[in-house]
Amino acid sequence: MTCFSFCFTKKKASSAKQTFEADEGLSDIKNINLYSYKELRVATEDFSPANKIGEGGFGSVYKGTLKDGTVAALKVLSSDSRQGAREFLTEIKVISEVEHDNLVKLYGCCVEGNHRILVYGYLENNSLAQTLLGRGHSSIHFNWQTRRKICIGVARGLAYLHEDIRPHIIHRDIKASNILLDKDLMPKISDFGLAKFIPPNMTHVSTRVAGTAGYLAPEYAIRGQVTRKADIYSFGVLLLEIVTGRCNTNRRLPAEEQYLLEKVWGTFEKGELLRLVDALLNDDFNVEEACRFLKIGLLCTQDMPKLRPSMSTVVGMLLGEIHVNDKEITKPGLLSDLMPPKAKADRGQKCKAEMKNSTDTASSGLGKLYNSSSSSEKITSSIATMTFNSIYDRTN
Ligand SMILES: Nc1ncnc2c1ncn2[C@@H]1O[C@H](COP(=O)(O)OP(=O)(O)O)[C@@H](O)[C@H]1O
Ligand SMILES: [Mg+2]
């Protein structure tokens, strides 16, 4: 392994289908550890399927043991992913700038021929999606103290990205599969492939919409203007998932139960929030705290972005240092309210985001987002329109 400033000549990738075009951007990045492809191949026993621990739109993730004995997670960009090449660069740029207990740690990367690999600290307990929300696939019991610690940790990591570092960073893909857990179930925010720096003096950046249906703030999905409030919305959805122990969308439930945010809002209006706390806690939780966390989730997902609290305020509320006023909670922003009437009527039967494993630019309207039948929920769209233009598969 060597430590270097990115300054290298492009090697010709002899048999590769496509060479990466984004190499130019690498010259900005300094002082990052560089691993050889050979070392990483040895570390993962030739990227053996037995060592595969995750899969996303970016490529596959493998567990490996480095030369010095350190256990790492290797995120391998698949060579035919254009989207991935962009995300690889973004992820290196962002993560090499930040350091916090609640963010994953980048050890370095491999940029050799056509290989692009990110090397991260390995996190023993995988993601919240696979453990807490992947019921039955995990033996971990998430008691109230653990859930509380996870909510506060993620909020702190996000407050750091939003408020402590300059320029501020918007993550854009806060969700259960991007929250990893270490051996003590301490949460770490991961997957910075979609992150954006906000230039000084700007409140938003305009961009193609990217994110995951169910976590996407409506104003961002529609106008493509991303502010920190879009992350805060996604955090609010995640908070509700952690307290209730269920995914934001569950199509096996009756139509009126399918959307967690709608359900939480309706239950809050009836004054019955306590009913929603995960039954697996067996009533062994702090009632005041659990209800407060659900209310904070509602505050974060309000329709009006400016009403959503900043992440540092959220941390204060979670810790009980800042008062949560029930009267200030207004209706959540629900993308379903923007559905065309027909899609809305049909949503119980077929309400999944379009999946296309491409970046085609054929126009597909908002209705299509809610009215197609494939299985991915990862979406991107064009700037400032009601149209979702290029929708691609990025399931993790
Ligand atoms: N550092 C890590 N330790 C353990 N598992 C990881 C690590 N990084 C990623 N994973 C696993 O791989 C999955 C995909 O990784 P992620 O960084 O989210 O990639 P993508 O950009 O493809 O979504 C995660 O949901 C998780 O299950
Ligand atoms: Mg991911």
Catalytic residue among 68, 80, 101, 173: 173
Mutational pocket test of ligand 1: of 118, 190, 379, the residue with most ligand atoms within 8 Å of the beta carbon = 190
Which residue is closest in CA terms to ligand 1's atom 7?
A: 73
Let me know whether 25 and 87 are in one domain: yes
Let me know whether 196 and 49 are in one domain: no
Q: Does residue 9 register a pLDDT over 50?
A: no
* Band of residue 342 on the pLDDT scale cut at 50, 70, 90: low
Mutational pocket test of ligand 1: of 75, 116, 117, 185, the residue with most ligand atoms within 8 Å of the beta carbon = 75
Atom index in ligand 1 nearest the CA of residue 56 equals 22
Distance 275 CA to ligand 2 centre (A): 31
CB within 8 Å of 172: residues ≥ 6 apart: 194, 195, 196, 210, 211, 226, 230, 231
Q: Does residue 108 register a pLDDT over 70?
A: yes
For 167-220, how does the pLDDT look when each residue is reduced to its tens digit (9 = 90+)?
Answer: 999 999 999 999 999 999 999 999 998 888 888 878 777 777 888 889 999 999
Structure tokens at 217: 């703030």
Measured from the alpha carbon of residue 73, the closest ligand is 1
Task: Pick 196 or 142 by higher pLDDT.
Answer: 142
Radius of gyration of the chain (CA): 21
Enclosing H/E stretch for 295: helix 287-300
Task: Give the amino acid at 308.
Answer: R
Give the number of domains in the chain: 2
Task: Give the amino acid at 368.
Answer: K
What is the distance between the alpha carbons of residues 147 and 289, in angstroms, rounded to a whole number? 11
What is the distance between the alpha carbons of residues 30 and 45, in angstroms, rounded to a whole number? 29
Distance 318 CA to ligand 1 centre (A): 27
Q: Does residue 163 register a pLDDT over 70?
A: yes
Q: Does residue 164 carry a catalytic annotation?
A: no
* Band of residue 341 on the pLDDT scale cut at 50, 70, 90: low
For 12-23, how does the pLDDT look when each residue is reduced to its tens digit (9 = 90+)?
Answer: 333 333 344 445
For residue 323, being part of any structural domain is answered with: yes
Domain boundary among 65, 86, 121: 121
Dihedral-angle region of residue 282 (phi above 0 means left; psi in -120 to 50 means alpha; beta otherwise): left
For residue 171, being part of any structural domain is answered with: yes
Domain boundary among 121, 155, 177: 121
For residue 327, being part of any structural domain is answered with: yes
Lowest mean pLDDT among 7-16, 22-31, 110-119, 173-182: 7-16
Which residue is closest in CA terms to ligand 1's atom 17?
A: 191
For residue 134, being part of any structural domain is answered with: no
Let me know whether 212 and 320 are in one domain: yes
Q: How many residues belong to the chain?
A: 396
Let me know whether 152 and 38 are in one domain: no
For residue 10, being part of any structural domain is answered with: no
To the question of pTM greater than 0.75 for the whole model, the response is yes
Quick one: which of 218, 191, 194, 217 has its CA closest to 207? 194
For residue 11, being part of any structural domain is answered with: no
What is the distance between the alpha carbons of residues 248 and 229, in angstroms, rounded to a whole number? 18
Q: Name residues contacting ligand 1 (CB within 6 A).
A: 53-54, 56-58, 61, 73, 75, 104, 120-123, 126-127, 130, 177-178, 180, 190-191, 193, 396
What is the distance between the alpha carbons of residues 384 and 68, in angstroms, rounded to a whole number? 49
pLDDT at 26: 64
For residue 150, being part of any structural domain is answered with: yes
- Residue 58 structural domain: 17-121
CATH code at position 226: 1.10.510.10
pLDDT at 271: 96
Let me know whether 95 and 240 are in one domain: no
Whether 296 and 325 have beta carbons less than 8 Å apart is answered as no
For 276-301, how does the pLDDT look when each residue is reduced to its tens digit (9 = 90+)?
Answer: 999 999 999 999 999 999 999 999 99
Whether 360 and 390 have beta carbons less than 8 Å apart is answered as yes
Let me know whether 156 and 250 are in one domain: yes
Task: Pick 274 or 18 by higher pLDDT.
Answer: 274
Quick one: which of 139, 211, 207 has its CA closest to 175? 211
SS (H, E, C) 87-100: HHHHHHHHHCCCCC
Structure tokens at 349: 């039967």
For 347-373, how does the pLDDT look when each residue is reduced to its tens digit (9 = 90+)?
Answer: 433 323 322 222 222 223 333 333 333
Let me know whether 105 and 201 are in one domain: no
Mean pLDDT of the chain: 81
Let me know whether 86 and 224 are in one domain: no
Task: Pick 360 or 142 by higher pLDDT.
Answer: 142
For residue 153, being part of any structural domain is answered with: yes
CATH code at position 100: 3.30.200.20
Let me know whether 257 and 310 are in one domain: yes
Let me know whether 214 and 116 are in one domain: no
Distance 255 CA to ligand 2 centre (A): 28
Q: What is the DSSP letter of 164?
A: I
Let me know whether 117 and 161 are in one domain: no
Let me know whether 339 and 266 are in one domain: yes
75 in a labelled binding site: yes
